[in-house]
Amino acid sequence: MIKVGIIGYGYWGPNLVRNFVNNKKCQLVCICDLDKKKLKKASKLYPNILATNNYKDIINNNKIDAVVIATPVDTHFKLALSALKSKKHVLVEKPITSSSSQAKILIEEAERQGLTLMVDHTFIYTGAVRKINELVNMKNFGDIKYYDSTRINLGLFQHDVNVLWDLAVHDLSIMSYIIKKKPIAVSANGHSRVSDEPEYAAFLSVYFDDIIAHINVNWLSPVKIRKTLVCGSKKMIVYDDLESIEKVKVYNKGIKVEKSEKEIYKTLISYRTGNMWSPKLSEIEALTIEIDHFINCILKKKKPLSSAEDGLEIVKILELANKSLRQKGKPQYLL
């Protein structure tokens, strides 16, 4: 029975707590938050779980095997490092850290200690994204051509990070999970309302060898859109996360290219249209699957699907995207 402590009972914390409580392979023993009101709420709902406003009560508790960190990004590094140093497995909210150098230090520490270090890229555990991954890997999908995602709504302005670090991180984790290749370069454009404020809107392109990904994120949109296109040479997928049932649609559509040396280019390409289908998706909550996966990785010493290395990859992209953003789209290369 893995004993777990959670640091951070804010927006996402209650979901984590509820899912750890319901997982039978582990026991949630302590919740920590600086806000005493939130702690009271937690205590009322879970009278048998310790509540503390000092995270060291978790770090120093020898009975605790694993720590979940659901605090603001700029505290991830410090909390995760001290947990790892106290020989505890760690699940940390996305993005894993504020910088790639921090992520590297955590990865080294976890390796040295033989501990599981996992990042909470929730989306890759949803029924929709798992199904898309399955489809994309089938032969009849062909090669991925592009990934194009729009994730916009009237969102809370963050004072410390821009919209890329808040919203694009979701798409980057999905993109990374599906595409399974190393990106080569990024280019980002964006806008702030006033010059020293974080960007509320950003448009990020990620170049791969023969694929392009484009991500449109915005905190200042009158309508909510969560729409992703994944286009293959033989099939195309539309993933609309706001649809209640038919979130994923697969189109047997595209273009046919026939080679010919003499004919001019235009005449050789023709449309191909066919059926559309919408596969049934698993309805199990993503977090339930993810937490079970975290516990299993600890028990079986497996690499998590959303490993710290995946988290590092995404932080690297975000760092370069920020650089590009300040230079109006100037491309930045990943080594």
What's at 21, amino acid-wise?
V
* Cis ω before 95 (30° cut-off from 0): yes
Closest distance to a second copy from the beta carbon of 238 (Å): 6
Q: Interface with a second copy by CB under 8 A: which residues? A: 45, 47, 145-146, 148, 150, 154, 156-159, 185, 187-191, 193, 201, 203, 205, 207, 211-212, 214, 216, 218, 220-224, 229, 231, 236-238, 244-246, 249, 251-255, 264-266, 269, 271, 273-280, 324, 327-331
Q: Pick between residue 105 and residue 212 the one whose CB is nearest to a second copy.
A: 212
Which is nearer to a second copy, 14 or 329 (by Cβ)? 329
With respect to a second copy, which residue has the nearer C-beta, 3 or 207?
A: 207
* Tokens 């859109």 found at: 225
- Specify whether the CB–CB gap between 186 and 332 falls below 8 A: yes
First-to-last alpha carbon distance for the chain, in angstroms, is: 42
- CA pair distance 146, 179, nearest whole angstrom: 10
Output the smallest distance, CB 329 to a second copy, in A.
3
According to DSSP H, which parts of 167-208 are helical?
A: 169-179
Q: How far is the CB of 154 from a second copy (least distance, A)?
A: 6
Q: Collapsing DSSP states into helix, strand and coil, what is residue 68?
A: strand
Question: Closer to a second copy at the Cβ: 88 or 131?
Answer: 131
Tell me how far, at minimum, the Cβ of 306 lies from a second copy, in Å: 27
Distances (CA, A) of 46 to 11, 17, 20: 17, 9, 12
Nearer to a second copy, 59 or 70 (CB): 70
- Rounded CA gap, 233 and 142, in Å? 5
Cα atoms in the Cβ-side hemisphere of radius 13 Å centred on 22: 13
Of 229 and 305, CB closest to a second copy: 229
| Shortest Å, Cβ 307 to a second copy | 28
